[in-house]
Structure formats: C-alpha cells, structure tokens
Amino acid sequence: MRGENKRSVIVGIFVFLGIAILVAGVMTLGGQQKKFVKSVHLKTVFDDVGGLQAGNNVWFSGVKIGTVRKINFYGDSQVEVEMNVEKSSVDFIRKNSKATISSDGLIGNKIIVLYGGSTDFPAVLDGDRLESVMPLDTDKMMETLQENNKNLVAITTDLKVLTGKIANGEGIVGSVMTDSTLAKNFKSIVVNLDRASSNSLKVINELNSFTAKLNTKGNLFNDLATDTSIAPDLKASMESLKATTANSAELTQKLSEITDKLNSSDNSMGMLLNDPGFAESLRSTMENTDSATYKLSKGLEALEYTWPFNRGFKRKAKAEEKAASDN
Amino acid sequence: MAEEPDDRKPLLSKKIDKFFTGLADAWNFVKRFFQEVLFPPYEFKEVIHQCYRIGVESLPLISLTGFIVGVVFTNQSRPSLSEFGAASWLPSLISIAVVRAMGPLVTALIAAGKVGSSIGAEIGSMKVTEQIDAMEVSATNPFKFLVVTRVLATTFMIPLLVMYTDFVALMGSFLSVNKNEMVSMTTFFVQVFESITFLDITSSLFKSVLFGFTIGIVGCYKGYNSSKGTEGVGRAANAAVVMAMFLIFIEELLVLQIVNAIRGS
C-alpha cells in the first residue's frame, strides 16, 4: 500500500513537471510572439509581398513590435497585410510612417519594417492604414547586373580589338607606339608643349600680378568694380553727357543751318560774303565814306577857328589845363 | 484450448481474407476500448501503476536519448550551416526539428520499443497462460483492467515524455552551441522560441497523444490476440513493436500533411 502511494506521488510529480514544461514553453512562446500583450491592428497594401507570411515579425527602428496577422488580396492584384502591433509601441508610430518589406538577415525570414514618420502627425490608431514602399526587387537588380555584364563584355571586346590594333602599329596611337620617327616628333612636340606651358605659366603669373594690382583698393578699376557709390555718379555723368551730346547735336544742326544761309546770297550776310557785285558796291561806298570823312575832318578843323565856334573850343582847352594842374 | 481449423472457403485468398479480418478485429478492439473507457468501474490505481511503469520508468532512457539527439543533431547540422555562415541559426533549426518532428518521433519510437513490447509480451503471456480467462471467470473485466488502463497510461504519458524529450534535447543542443558558438542560454532560448509557433506545439502534442494511443492499443491488441504458447508471446511482443513503429510513421506523415494544410491556410 505504501509502495502504491509512493508510485502515485512520483507519477504526480512526473505529470506536474511535464505540464510545467509545457506551460513554461507556451508562456515563453506567447510572450516572445506578443500573443499576450494588448495590440492594435494596422494595415498596409503592397503590390508584391515577396513570400511574406502570417506570423512574420514587424520591426520599428530595429525592434520587434508585432507580427503579421493576416495577408489578403486587395483590389485587382494588390495584397493587404494586417499587422498586430503592441499597444505600447503605437505612440512612436506616426500616421505618416511608411511600411516596407525586408528580411532579418541575408537569408532570413521576411519582415515588415515600419519607419519614418514625423512628430507633426499624430500617432496611429487601431485600424489605420500605413503608406507602403515597395522594397528593392532582387530580380530587377539581377537584370540590371546582367545588362552591366553584357556591357562589360562589349567593352572588353572593343578594348581587345583596340589593343590588338595598337600592338600592330595601326592608327595614330599604334604608330606612336611603334614608329621611332613619330616618337621623336612626338617627343619634340612634348618639349615644345612644355616650353609653351612654362611661358603660359609666366603669362598667368603676370596676369595674376596685374589682377592683384587691379584688386588694390583705391585703384580706379577696383573702385569701379567694388565702390557702389561711384555707380550713381557715373550714371549721372552719363546722363549729363547724353544731354550735352543732344545739345551739341542741336547746336551743330543750327550752325549748319547758319552756314547754309551764309553760303547762300539771299540774305544780307550771305550777300556780304558771297555776292561780288555787292562787295564791289560796298568797297565803293567805303571809299566814298572815307573820302567824305576826310573832307568832314577838314571842315571841322576849319570850323574850330571860325566864329562863334572858336570860343567854345578855347573854354574846353582851358578846363583841361586846369584839371591837369589840379592833379 | 487448441484453435479449430477453419474449413470455410476463402473470399479472395487466405492471406487477403486474413488481412481484412485482422483489420476488422483491430477496429472492433478499438471500438471496445472507447466503449469500456467511458463507463465505470474505473481502474484508477491500475492506471497510476501503468503511468508509473510507462512514464516514470521510461524517463531515464527517454531523457538520455533526447539529450543525445540534441547534441548529435546540433553537431551534425553545424558544418552545413557554417558553410553558409549561418551557424547562428542552429538554435532555430534545432528547435524546429525537435519540436515539430524529432521529439515526438524519437520518444514514440523508444516507447514503442520499450513499452509496446512490454505490454505485448505481458498481455500475451497472460493470454497464453489463460490468466485473462481466469479474470473473466472471477467477474473482473480483463479488457478494462488490462487494456483500458495501459492504453490510457500510454496516451497520457507519451505527451509528457515528449515534453521532457524536447526540453532535454534542447538543453543538449544548448550545451553544444554554448561550447562552440559561445551563445548564452537566454539568446539560445530566444532564438528557439523565435522559430516555433503555437501550431508547432499543438501539433506536437496532438501527435504524441496519437502515438501514445497507438503504442498502447497495438501492444494490447497484439498481446490480447496472441496464441501458440510462449512462441506466440514472443511474436506478440515483436509484432507490437513493429506494427506500432510502422503506424507511428504513417501517422507522422498524415499529421504533417494536415498541419501543413493548416499552416498554409
């Protein structure tokens, strides 16, 4: 009887430990897969989920925050993914956060990665739909790589042909490589080029020196280039010059008109300058005037000694003498 | 009591008829088990006794086997994973392999060998020495006392042994991983539970219940239907092991298909 009791106790302990292992396993699994935490449902829609399965993890900033709950077809050919995200993480996921598909290693399981989102937007709520970003398609990458390989083959083929021609002395480069005369000429060209480059260097140095002078403060060019106050003065001067030029043009035009008139004989000055008959007549008039003036002078001299005018002339002579003695 | 010669004309052939007759007998045996298990009297003490024999006494053997399975499977998988630079995936691989398949399968096969043969031989010897007939005469239901108790014990104990095997195998794997990859226990078990799901645990439990029932019912059936004296006892024990192992593999295959169908949906 005692042996039976002992066996019963041992069986009980055995059963208890077995169930304890089962319960511990279930609790650990549930805790790790966030089965026993409060969660919210988020959705996103992809064109292609690339083998994502229900139960795959959801990461945010590299931390596992949930699992994929359900995957359904959506619309014509898109796929809607429902996620269970633990409630404690929801405050950090904003409504403008994005979802993409990645993997947790080079050959790891597919995961959903939530990223981005700014604090300007509120946190997500249960049932919200996040914008999805399609991940890099490895097939497309391989296609591009294949295209690159083809290009590389074409390039190396061309290069092979090119180097073959060079080795055979074909073309300019081939000639340079194989013809000694051409090589000497080429060397000479290089020497000349070297000389030219040293001259260029000198010129550049002088130009540098010149520009340095131009850049010196107080220099006219420097002032023109840097002093902003000169510009309005220069503008005003230009305006004055423009006005002066306009006046000069007008003056020139008027002078031209005057000259035209002087060249014609239908006016007094033109007649004076251009009409020989009038000149002759004027010369005759001048001669007559000269003669008349002479005769008038003689007449006036005679009048100085004639009565009653002689008395006046005497009084004038006396006044002049008196003024001279007073001084 | 010598068997009477069967002079009836076979329906198809003697062997085929015998196969289908055997199936019908097995079906009736299982049906009788479910009829007997539901109605009193219940043989609790005998059930506990059988649980002790089947569960507790098998524990050292099962634990050692599980530990060796964990260590060996880890060491054998390491080179292949290391070739891809994925030695860190060892805990995940081992957990999937142990929980989904190896734990229940190894436990069931060991139990089939140890417990199935024991049940077959024990009941077979009782049958050939007419102890079962004596029990019937003494108003004791031999089916309830011998069959129901043993089948219940295997059905309850094998799942528990599977839990132990899984735990010990994972610990063995941890020792190997810890020694070679310097992985801590926390990291190891985080990776272990990262890879498995509730479906894995549920299917593992369901399988182990099925395997336990199979081991018990096959051992009892073969023992209960043994004949031809001591030679028949040996045959019954051998047939119990072979048939139980064969059915375990068939059931593993069927359950795998069902679980995969559930996993995919």
Residue A51 touches chain B, beta carbons under 8 Å: no
Element at A68 (helix H, strand E): strand A63-74
Q: Name which of A11, A13, A33 to mutate to probe chain B: the one with the most chain B Cβ atoms within 10 A of its Cβ.
A: A11
Choose the closest CB to A7 out of B52, B193, B205. B52
A85 neighbors A39 (Cβ within 8 angstroms): yes
Question: In chain B, which residues have their Cβ closer than 8 Å to the Cβ of A26?
Answer: 198, 201
Query: What residues of B are in contact with residue A71 (Cβ under 8 Å)?
Result: none
- CA distances for A191 relative to A173, A179, A181, A197, A319, angstroms: 19, 18, 15, 10, 106
Closest Cα to residue B155, out of B113, B218, B110, B213? B213
Contact status of A23 with chain B (Cβ, < 8 Å):
no
Residue B45 forms contact with A (CB below 8 Å): yes
Q: Which of A15, A17, A32 sits opposite B193 (nearest CB)?
A: A32
Contact B160 A25 (CB under 8 A): no
CA distance A159 to chain B (A): 37
Which of B158, B262, B81, B170 lies closest to A28 in space, CA to CA?
B170
Which residues are bridge partners to A99 per DSSP?
A114, A132
Q: What digits encode the pLDDT tens for the residues B221-250? A: 988 888 777 788 888 888 888 988 999 999
Which residue ranges make up each domain of chain B? 45-260
Q: Would you say A174 and A166 are in contact if contact means Cβ atoms under 8 Å apart?
A: yes
Nearest residue of A to residue B81 by CA position?
Answer: A107
Residue B45 to residue A4, Cβ atoms within 8 A = yes
Residues of B numbered 53-92 whose beta carbons fall under 8 angstroms of chain A's beta carbons: which are they?
A: 55-56, 59, 84, 86
User: Which residues of chain B fall below pLDDT 70?
Assistant: 1-8, 265
**In this complex, is the C-beta atom of A25 within 8 Å of any C-beta atom belonging to chain B?**
yes
CB pairs under 8 A between A and B: 64
Find, among A28, A13, A25, the residue nearest to B202 by Cα: A25
Contact flag A15-B49 (C-beta cutoff 8 Å): no
- The pLDDT assigned to A151 comes to 93
Provide the shortest C-alpha distance from residue B66 to chain A (in Å): 15
CA distances, A311 to each of A305, A321, B12, B155, B202 (Å): 9, 16, 201, 184, 169
Chain B CB contacts of A64 below 8 Å? none
All residues at 6 or more sequence positions from B204 whose CB lies less than 8 Å from its CB, including other chains: B99, B100, B103, B104, B162, B166
pTM: 0.60
- Of B77, B79, B83, nearest to B97 (Cα)? B77
Is omega for the bond preceding B104 within 30 degrees of 0, making it cis? Answer: no
Helix runs in chain A, H state only: 2-32, 138-167, 171-178, 180-214, 220-226, 230-263, 268-274, 276-304, 309-326
B interface mutation test: which of A26, A29, A58, A109 has the most B CBs within 10 A? Answer: A29
Please report the sign of the dihedral spanned by the C-alpha atoms of residue A80, residue A84, residue A88, residue A89. Answer: negative
The minimal CB distance from A18 to the residues B160, B189, B196 is found for B160
With residue A83 as reference, give the H or E element that holds it. strand A78-86
Are the C-beta atoms of residues A91 and A59 closer than 8 Å to each other?
Answer: no
Partner-chain contact B48 A25, CB within 8 Å: no
Q: Which residues of A touch B197 (CB under 8 A)?
A: 29, 33, 55
Mutate to test the interface with B, among A22, A35, A84 (most CBs of B within 10 A): A22
Please check whether residue B48 touches A, CB under 8 A. Answer: yes
The two structure tokens encoding residue A303: 């009048």
B82 exposure class (CB count in 10 Å sphere: 0-12, 13-18, 19+): middle
Which chain A positions have a beta carbon within 8 Å of B205's beta carbon? 22
Q: Which residues face A115 on adjacent strands?
A: A98
Which of these, B96, B99, B190, B183, lies nearest to A32 by C-alpha position? B190
Q: Chain B contact for A33, CB < 8 A?
A: yes
B160/A19 touch (CB, cutoff 8 Å), yes or no:
yes
Nearest residue in B to A14, CA atom? B56
Do A96 and A131 touch, CB atoms closer than 8 A? yes
Contact B51 A11 (CB under 8 A): yes
Which pLDDT tens digits describe chain A residue by residue (327 residues)?
566 778 888 888 888 888 898 888 888 888 877 777 788 889 999 888 888 888 788 898 888 888 888 888 988 888 999 998 888 888 888 888 899 988 876 666 788 999 888 888 888 888 888 888 887 777 778 888 999 999 999 999 999 998 888 888 787 777 777 777 777 887 888 899 999 999 999 999 999 888 888 778 777 777 777 777 777 888 888 899 999 999 999 999 999 888 888 888 788 778 878 888 888 888 899 999 999 999 998 888 888 788 777 888 888 888 888 888 887
